[in-house]
Amino acid sequence: MPRSPLAIAVSRACAALIGGYAFAATSSALLATCLPLTRADAVVAATLLSFALYAAAALRAFAAPSAWRAWGELLLPAAAMALAVKGLA
């Protein structure tokens, strides 16, 4: 059953906002623990990079071939990074 274009656009926008935030936050946490810098410098560098990653994730949410794929491409790597951070901590 085809979905309406509005529902697809809303799903992509939610993927960009929620999935992009999850992706950027977990990548920032992973980078902060993995970068070979002092703790403060690693956190600052990871946080600065997370802004660019959030923008790229939001762009990818709208460039993905489907809304399902947009969600998957953002949440699956975010979950993997969250597990990696939990394992490193």
pLDDT for 4-51, tens place per residue? 999 999 999 999 999 999 999 999 999 999 999 999 999 999 999 999
Residues 6 or more apart in contact with residue 34 via CB below 8 angstroms: 88
pLDDT higher than threshold 80 for residue 61: yes
Is the Cα dihedral 35, 37, 43, 48 positive or negative? negative
Q: Per-domain residue ranges for the chain?
A: 20-88
Predicted confidence (pLDDT) at residue 81 exceeds the cutoff of 80: yes
**Which of 74, 41, 71 is CA-nearest to residue 57?**
74
More confident residue, 83 or 1: 83
Question: CA distances (Å), 8 to each of 58, 59, 74, 76, 82, in order?
Answer: 15, 15, 16, 20, 27
User: DSSP state, 38?
Assistant: -
